[in-house]
Amino acid sequence: MARIVLISCVSKKLSYRAKAKDLYISPLFKYNLKYAKSLNPDRIFILSAKYGLLDLEEEIESYNETLNTMSSKDIKEWANKVINQLNKLANLKKDEIIFLAGERYRKYLISHISNYKIPLKGLGIGKQLKFLKDKFLVNEKCNKLHHWFNSMKKHNFPFNEKDIPLNGIYVLFEKGESAHGINRIVRIGTHTGKDQLRSRLKQHFINENKDRSIFRKNIGRTILNKNKDSFLEKWELDLTPKEAREKYSELIDFNKQKQVEKEVTKYIQDNFSFVVFQIDDKNKRLALESKIISTISLCNQCKPSKNWLGNFSPKQKIRESGLWNVNELYKEALDDEDIEELKSIIR
């Protein structure tokens, strides 16, 4: 299955012959093209009122036609022309077609296409532009975060806990994962109790108790799900409360649970490294953790590799975000003031 993006033409153009990708010069078209490329498509085409379907590299003359002044009959004829062109280049029953185009440009096309998306549907031009600008501001901020955190001192197992502050935020990297040309951030975390950062990291890397570390629990879930292991159902049970232990203990093979815990420990210790930075104030710590998670989850340049273990997670949020986090995704990103504050903290 291929992914194809269709971008509608715009009225603001160069006055001379040029490649299609350069002819259209409005901010909306430029942002749409940038957004289209970020979706990692197989092909991108322009929907031209004059030429129909245009390859980005195709050289054309400037023109003034627009669907906005055409009758419904003329638009239907134009749509039939585009479908005929598209049929030669794509499988309209299977391929994913993404429209970055207004309703007039897609109205008579979508009935011929089985698998399509309209990410900016319902947004006026002004709101589309704002959405796209915000999208790429997030990407730029995420790029900064990756470069800042990658330049900090990395800790691997076994780590010296004296090198870890008592309070702060940790950022995890995983072998084989990259984004923005460097190691990809795969989890951000902190702690709520006073002076508990070292303890939190031990719960992840050392202490074999999945009910004290949601990170460990998610790694175990994923390993079991990948192996189609029925023990996943028992792994989900939280045995922390006394009532739960009394209710479920007889149902659990604790030798099997111990085996899975050791497998989780080995995977974490062998594959993860991390950086830390100190923040003593609990409220500031939690607020920054949330915004960092949101910023990275909103970035469309931070995609997991095909071999990433998290692709087998039973948790949809992990699979879709590429992060070993399920909370604080897609919320409020870091603003400019947050970025400056974070920059001063980690320096």
CB-CB contact of 179 with 302 (8 Å): yes
Closest CA to 79 of 106, 101, 57, 46: 106
State the pLDDT at residue 4.
94
pTM to 2 decimal places: 0.70
Domain ranges of the chain: 3-122, 134-346
What pLDDT does residue 249 have?
Answer: 86
The tens digit of pLDDT for each residue in 169-187 reads 999 999 999 999 999 999 9
Q: What pLDDT, on the 0 to 100 scale, is given for residue 135?
A: 77
Please tell me the distance from the alpha carbon of residue 267 to that of residue 174, in angstroms, as a whole number: 10
45's CB contacts (< 8 A; 6+ apart) are: 4, 5, 6, 7, 53, 54, 55, 56, 86, 89
The parts of the chain modelled with pLDDT lower than 70 are none
Q: Which residues have C-beta within 8 Å of that of residue 278, sequence separation ≥ 6?
A: 165, 166, 167, 168, 345
Strand, coil or helix: what is 177?
strand
129-166 tens-digit pLDDT = 887 877 778 889 999 999 999 999 999 999 999 999 99
Share of the chain above pLDDT 70, in %: 100
Phi, psi of 166 (to 5 degrees): -70, -35
Nearest to 106 by CA among 189, 8, 249: 8
Strand partners of residue 98: 5, 117
Instruction: Give percent helix, percent strand, percent coil of the chain, each to the nearest 5.
Output: 50, 15, 35
